Amino acid sequence: MKLSDRVSGALLVVLGAAAAISGSRLPAVPGQDVGPAVFPMVVGGGLVLCGAAIALGIGHAFEAPDEEEGGPRGQWYGLRALVPPALLVFYVLVVEPLGFLPTAAIIVGVASAALGAGWRLALPLALVAPFAVHAVFAKLLRVPLPDGLLAAPW
């Protein structure tokens, strides 16, 4: 997701404008002359200015040069970066029906494989790590992790 400054600056201008406009529609509150609308409008306005400045290349001289990494890669290689957030969404969706231990095992196993681990590392890790995390967070610190299909043995 390397964007040019023009694109990222323009995105900020759009975001800032949207924030300022929807902020300005917030109702006033009796007794407060500076109501809830002011702060989003100021921040949104600031974002518009910054976004425009970035799009025009102001301040670019201060940036450290890019460290371009890696050689040529496939077209879809960049999508690999989405694996961690996708796993987190997966956790949100299935942890309650499935239970913490199986969900965690799947997450650890998939992430490990995606990072290039062989099954001799990924499999034991997926089996051990969920129990260790559950022991510390649920057992010792009483974080209410759901049991789902497979309750922890403690």
Partner 1 sequence: MRRRAMLALGAGLPVASVARAQGSAAAAWPSRPVRLLVPFIPGSAPDVIARQLAERIAPALGQPVVVENRGGAGGNIGFEAAARAAPDGYTLLLGTNSLIINPALTRRSLGFDAFRDFAPITVAFAMPHLLIVPPGGPDSLAALIASLRARPDQNYASGGNGSGAHLAAEMFKARAGVQATHVPFRGAPDIVNNVMSGQVQLGFPTLATATELVRAGRLKALGVTSAARNHALPNVPPIAETLPGFDLVSWFAVMAPAGTPPAVILRVDAAVQDALADAAFRARATADGSTAVGLGPDRFAAFLRREAEIWGEAVRVSGATVD
Partner 2 sequence: MTHLIEGFNLVAQPDVLLAILLSAVYGLVVGSLPGLSATMATALLVPFTFYLSPIAAVATIITASAMAIFSGDIPGALLRIPGTPASAAYTDEAYAMTRKGQAEMALGAGLWFSAIGGIVGTLSLVLMAPLLAEMALNFSSFEYFWLALLGLMCATLVARSSPVKAIASMLLGLLVACIGIENPAGTPRFTFGLTDLLGGIEVIPALVGVFAVSEVMRAMLTPPPPPIPKRQFGSILAGQWQLTKKYQWPMWRGNIVGIIIGVLPGAGADMAAWISYSMAKRFSKEREKFGTGHPEGLVEAGASNNASLASGWVPSLLFGIPGDTITAIAIGVLYMKGLNPGPTLFTERASSMYALYIIFILANIIMIPLGIVMIRLASHILRAPRAAVMPVIVLLCAVGAFATGANLFSVLLVAVFGCLGFVMERNGYPVAAMVLGIVMGSMLEQTFVTSLIKSDNSVLPFFERPVASVLAALTLGAASWPLIAWLLGRIPGRRAAG
Among 30, 65, 74, 118, binds partner 1 (CB under 8 A): 30
**Residue 75: CB minimum distance to partner 2, A:** 14
Rg of the chain in Å (alpha carbons): 24
- Identify which range of 26-34, 59-67, 79-87, 102-110 contacts partner 1 by CB under 8 A: 26-34
* CB nearer partner 2, residue 99 or residue 130: 130
In the complex, the smallest distance separating the C-beta of residue 150 from partner 2, rounded to whole angstroms, is 16
Phi, psi values for residue 105, rounded to 5° = -65, -40
∠28-31-32 over CA atoms, to 5°?
Answer: 55
Does residue 21 touch partner 2 according to CB under 8 A?
Answer: no
- Calpha distance 79→84 (Å, rounded): 11
**129 counts as binding partner 2 under rule CB under 8 A:** yes
From residue 40 to residue 59, the character string flagging contacts with partner 2 as x (rule: CB under 8 A) and all else as - is x--xx-xx--xx-xx---xx
Neighbours of 50 (CB within 10 A): 16
96 binds, among partner 1, partner 2, none (CB under 5 to 8 A by kind): partner 2
Tell me which of 135, 137, 147, 152 binds partner 2, using CB under 8 A.
137
Site for partner 1 in 125-144 (CB under 8 A): 142, 144
Q: What separation in angstroms does the CA of 14 have from each of 25, 43, 48, 51?
A: 17, 13, 7, 9
Choose among partner 1, partner 2, none what residue 101 binds, the Cβ cut-off being 5 to 8 Å by kind: none
Three-class DSSP category at 96: helix
**What are all long-range contacts of 105-110, with beta carbons under 8 Å and residues at least 24 apart?**
105/129, 105/130, 110/83
